[in-house]
Amino acid sequence: MPKPEREFFDVTDIEWTPCAGKVAGLTERILAADEPAGVATRMLRFEPGTDTTPNGVQVHDFWEEVYILEGSFTDLTLDQTFTAGMYACRPPGMAHGPWVAPDGCITFEARYRTASDT
């Protein structure tokens, strides 16, 4: 089933839940999902001090767009810090991370597939 139709709603009605993987302090708020396709729109929260090194470098088979709402994190592979107001668009197969977020961070992410990806 594709992502559900939803009119505006208060996202705080959706609880933060732990992300899959081995990292404490990394939680997500799933706003809409297409589970069979393996894609979602979500908010991702890095608690202060979160280090995603145990999850390693990430590579996905879907598109991912990320906008940093609050705080910052540092990509350890790139040795570069990204801050609130910055945006990334990652095509399938683009490696990224791991990250550390000394002061915490919240992002908004849209994950999707295009007709050519299926």
In a domain, 104, yes or no: yes
In a domain, 3, yes or no: no
Check pLDDT > 90 for residue 118: no
pLDDT digit string, tens, across residues 76-102:
999 999 999 999 999 999 999 999 999
Q: Which domain holds residue 57?
A: 15-113
Q: Can you give the CATH number for the domain in which 55 is found?
A: 2.60.120.10
pLDDT on residue 111: 93
pLDDT digit string, tens, across residues 33-70:
998 888 999 999 999 999 999 999 999 999 999 999 99
Check pLDDT > 90 for residue 114: no
What is the total count of domains within the chain?
Answer: 1
DSSP per-residue string spanning the chain: -PPPP-----GGGSPPEEPSSS-TTEEEEEEEEEGGGTEEEEEEEE-TTEE-GGG-SB--SSEEEEEEEEEEEEETTTTEEEETT-EEEE-TT--B--EEETT-EEEEEEEE--GGG-
In a domain, 10, yes or no: no
In a domain, 100, yes or no: yes
